[in-house]
Amino acid sequence: MKAKGWLVACILGIIAIVATSAQCLAAGFALWEGSARGIALGDAVVGRADDPSAVFYNPAGITQLPGIQVMMGGTAIRTQGDVKVVNGTEIFPGVPNPGVPLVETVNGTQSTLNGWAFVPNFYLTGQCSDRLYLGLGIFSPFGLANQFPNDWFGAFNSYDAEVQSLTVNPNAAFKINDQLSVAAGLEAMEFGLKLRQRLPFYFGGAYLPPALSPDARIQGDTWGYGYNLAVHYKPCRFVAVGVAYRSEITEGGDMNSYLDWQLGDVHRYSASHASLTLPDSVAMGVVFYPTDRLSWEVGGIWTRWSDFNKLQFVFDRPIYGAPVVARVKDWHDTWRFQTGIEYKVLPCLDLRAGYVYDEEAINDTYADYLLPSNNRHEFSFGAGLHDEHWSLDLAYQFILIQDSNITSSSPFYANPSHLRDTQAQLVAADIAYRF
């Protein structure tokens, strides 16, 4: 009866994630919040890969999981930060009448309005034979939520940006021998996007202020497909190595575009087609087991952000005479370095801590207010409670994003902008059951 109850809970968990993930907004673009245990260990679980969240971090590791196992939970995220400009900063739109300042005396500091967002996860693994194992993951690999007042000094660039994703990722893992396992999987990703900004409007010899300017909104969902490959190797009981690759995914689909005027009740709608390429990545880790109670992993993740070179929209009805609008990104490839340590205090209690240094991908030349960010330091800790059949993992992470001074050529951007006191907090929990 207990097993049947957990099976029902699994089905309900899948339904809940599918139903709510379209509304989940994560602070950040690439999300590595695969599980509470992974967060507590600074995501240094690619070499370990010894719980159901291995489907996310390194699917080859599910050959270490006997029987049927399930895990579900999620991460709550909140970011905050300030954008500061020097008194008298001017914004030039680069549209007709470019010699006229859009705003002549921008000054002051604006804080983000971001609230808490939730990133869900669900994993199911099953042993089919001594060598064949199957796994299923449902998670959000990309996400973003960054909001400002709709009349702030950067509203002509962006005041509300949301990205949400949902990936369904089935995997098959094969144990070649007791030391070496390999895995492969398919990935189907739904990618949702909403962007809001003010559009400059020249009237009466000057540009209207943001509060009176047209409000533009683009939103919609697309589907993209990819694959993943993974290897797990444990040459002896003291060391294990993991490598996992996820392919790039090209997203393209129809979006809805809206243009609202504040002067009078005027609304305009048009369809648009969006296209972008989400990057591929390689995760790797080496874990050491000096004693039966202690494990320590070091590793990293390389992401080909240079694939994300632009975000383009093609309109069926031109806006301001432009049938195509493209935001150049030209991001850099990055490394994410991570380490985590786990100590078994009691047979039923594990304590964990981790650290991550995460490089920023954004090219300062094309920076904008969609995602003001910089290199970051991530500090985390957590605990795991478990017995023969169940486990509960809890984690907390604090992310400190370095201050930065950016002079950007992005349209309608205050130059220079100073990004200050940007940070994030994450609270995560997962519950797992072994049938």
- The model's pLDDT over 21-64, given as tens digits with 9 standing for 90+, comes to 433 333 337 889 899 999 999 999 999 999 999 999 999 999 99
Tell me if the bond preceding 416 is cis, omega within 30° of 0. yes
CA atoms within 13 A on the CB side of 214: 18
Q: Are 151 and 186 in contact (CB under 8 A)?
A: no
CATH at residue 227: 2.40.160.60
Buried-state track 64-89, b at ≥16 Cβ within 10 A, e below 16: bbeebbbbbbbbebebebebbbeeeb
Q: Determine the Cα–Cα distance for residues 51 and 65; give it in Å rounded to an integer.
A: 7
Q: For residue 172, give the nearest of 137, 123, 133 by alpha carbon.
A: 133
pLDDT band at 355 (very low <50, low <70, confident <90, very high): very high
Q: In this predicted model, which residue has the larger pLDDT, 48 or 204?
A: 48
State the DSSP code for 408.
-
Side-chain half-sphere CA neighbours of 271 within 13 A:
5
Please say whether the beta carbons of 299 and 356 come within 8 A: no
Nearest CA-CA partner of 163 in 38, 35, 251, 81: 251
Phi, psi of 366 (to 5 degrees): -115, 25
Of 248, 242, 399, nearest to 333 by C-alpha is: 248
pLDDT at 414 over 90: no
Place of tokens 């930065």: 404
62 CB-near residues (< 8 Å, 6+ apart): 49, 52, 54, 55, 125, 133, 134, 135, 171, 173, 183
Which 8-state DSSP code applies to residue 290?
S
Q: Which of 16, 25, 30 is nearest to 73 (CA)?
A: 16
The CB density around residue 136, as the number of other CB atoms within 10 Å, is: 18
- Domain around 275: 2-434
Phi and psi dihedrals of 233, rounded to 5? Answer: -135, 125
For the chain, the average pLDDT equals: 84
Of all residues in the chain, the percent with pLDDT exceeding 70 is 81
- Residues 59-116: tens digit of each pLDDT: 999 999 999 999 999 999 998 888 888 776 666 544 444 445 555 556 678 888 888 8
SS (H, E, C) 126-179: EECCCCEEEEEEEECCEEEEEECCCCCCCCCCCCEEEEEEEEEEEEEEEECCCC
Terminal Cα-to-Cα distance of the chain (whole angstroms): 11
Distance CA 429, CA 39 (A): 10
> What's the pLDDT score for residue 16?
44
- Residue 6 banded pLDDT, cuts 50, 70, 90: very low
70 or 223: which leads in pLDDT: 70
DSSP 303-361: E-GGG--EEEEEEEEEETTEEEEEEE--PPPEEEEEEEEEEEEETTEEEEEEEEEE---
Tally of domains in the chain: 1
Q: Which residues is 314 bridged to in the sheet? A: 273, 324
